Structure 1
Amino acid sequence: MKSWKVASAGILTASILLTGCTSEQDAVAQKTETKTVHAEKSTDKTKITSSKKIPSQLQKPLKIASINQFSIGTFSSQYVSGVKKQVEEFGGSVQVYNADNDLSKMAAYVETAINQQVDGILIDHGRADAIAPSVKKAVAQGIPVVAFDSDINIPGVTVIDQDDYSLAWNSLRTMAQDLNGKGKIVYVWVGGFTPMERRNVMYEAFKKRYPNIKEVARFGNASQNTALDTQSQMEALLQKYPNKGDIDAVFAPWDEFAKGATRAIQQAGRDEIKVYGIDLSDEDLQLMQADESPWKATAATDPADVGKMQVRFLYQKAAGEETPQVYSVQPHLVEKEVLPSSKISMSEMGKYVEGWGKSDAAESPWMKTLKEASK
Structure 2
Amino acid sequence: MTLVSPRKLVAVGAAAAAIALALSACSGGGAPKQTAAADSGGNGNSGYKIAMITHETPGDTFWDKIRAGAEQAAKDTGVKLTYSNDPQADKQAQLIQTAVDSKVDGIATTLVTPDALAGSVKAAQAAGIPLVGFNSGIDQYKQLGALMYFGSDENLAGNTVGEKLASEGVKHPLCVIQAAGSVALEARCAGVKDKVSGTENIQVNGADDSSVVSSLQAKLAQDSSIDAIVTLGAPIAMDALKAMSQASSKAKLVTFDLNEQAAQAIKDGKIEFSVDQQPYVQGYMAVTALYLYIKNGNDIGGGGPVLTGPSIVDKNNIDKILPFTKNNTR
Deviations 1:242-295 (A, max 9, x none): x6xx3321122333432221232245554x3211221122232123223x51x1
1:9 pairs with 2:34: no
1:193–1:88 Cα change, 3 Å: same
After superposition, residues 167-316 of structure 1 pair within 5 angstroms as: 167-179=157-169, 182-189=170-177, 191-208=180-197, 214-215=198-199, 218-225=201-208, 227-241=209-223, 246-270=225-249, 272-290=250-268, 292-293=269-270, 295-316=271-292
Return the letter of the residue paired with 2:62. F
Q: Which 5+ residue runs of structure 2 have no aligned equivalent?
A: 9-24, 30-38
Asked whether the 8 Å contact 1:10–1:169 carries over to 2, the reply is: no
Aligned residue for 1:326, secondary structure, equals coil
Residue identity opposite 1:124 in structure 2: T
Work out which of the residue numbers 87, 97, 107 in structure 1 matches 2:93: 107
Partner Cα distance (1:87, 1:166) in 2: 30
| Cα deviation 1:103-157 (Å, max 9, x = unaligned) | 1111111111111111111102332211122112212222111111123323452
The alignment covers a number of residue pairs equal to 294
TM-score, normalising length from structure 1?
Answer: 0.68
1:185 Cα offset (Å):
2.8
d(CA) in 1 for partners of 2:28, 2:5: 44
Q: CA RMSD in A?
A: 3.4
Unaligned runs of 5+ in 1: 1-7, 13-34, 40-44, 51-58, 209-213, 350-355, 358-375
**Contact 2:70 / 2:287 at 8 angstroms: preserved in 1?**
yes
Q: Is residue 2:311 matched to residue 1:332?
A: yes
Provide the C-alpha distance between the structure 2 equivalents of 1:198 and 1:342, rounded to a whole number of angstroms: 26
Please give the alpha-carbon distance, in whole angstroms, between the structure 2 residues aligned to 1:341 and 1:318. 36
Q: 1:31 matched to which residue of 2?
A: none
- Aligned partner of residue 103 in structure 2, secondary structure: coil
Counterpart AA for 2:90: S
Specify whether residues 185 and 199 from structure 1 end up closer, same or farther in structure 2 by C-alpha distance, changes over 3 A only. closer
Q: Which residue of 2 aligns with 1:54?
A: none
Q: Does the C-alpha gap of structure 1 residues 191 and 118 become closer, same or farther in structure 2, counting only changes over 3 Å? A: same
- Relative to structure 1, the CA distance from residue 193 to residue 218 in structure 2 (aligned partners, 3 Å threshold; closer, same or farther) is closer
- Range 231-240 or range 116-125, more displaced: 231-240
- Percent identity between the aligned chains? 21
- Give SS of 1:336's match: coil
Counterpart amino acid of residue 207 in structure 1: V
TM-score (structure 2 length as normaliser): 0.77
Alpha-carbon distance in structure 1 between the residues aligned to 2:217 and 2:96: 40
Larger radius of gyration: 1
Compared CA separation, residues 311 and 46, structure 1 to 2 (3 A): closer
AA of the residue aligned to 1:335: D
User: What's the CA shift for 1:91?
Assistant: 1.6
Aligned-residue offset at 1:60: 3.2
Tell me the residue number matched to 2:298: 321
**Take 2:27 and 2:174, find their aligned partners in 1: how far apart are those partners?**
60
Change (3 A) 1:106 1:343: closer
Could you say what secondary structure the match of 1:85 adopts? helix
* Displacement after TM superposition at 1:47 (Å): 9.8
SS in 2 for 1:183: coil
Would you say the 8 A contact 1:120–1:145 is kept in 2? Answer: yes
Q: 1:127 to 1:187 in 2, by over 3 A?
A: closer
- Distance, in Å, in 2 between the alignment partners of 1:328 and 1:345 is 22
Q: Distance in 2 between matches of 1:36 and 1:173?
A: 43
**Corresponding residue for residue 19 of structure 1:** none
The whole-number CA distance in structure 2 between the counterparts of 1:298 and 1:176 is 16
AA paired with 1:118?
V
Q: Provide the rounded CA distance (Å) in 1 between the counterparts of 2:70 and 2:238.
A: 24
- Output the CA distance in 1 between the equivalents of 2:321 and 2:98: 46
Against the structure 1 CA distance between its residues 248 and 37, is the aligned structure 2 distance closer, same or farther, given a 3 Å change threshold?
A: closer
Aligned counterpart for 1:163 among listed residues 153, 167, 180: 153
Change (3 A) 1:233 1:133: same
CA contact (8 A) 2:233 2:256 kept: yes
Contact 1:86 1:308 in 2 (8 A): yes
| Structure 1 residues 186 and 347: CA distance shift in structure 2, 3 A | same
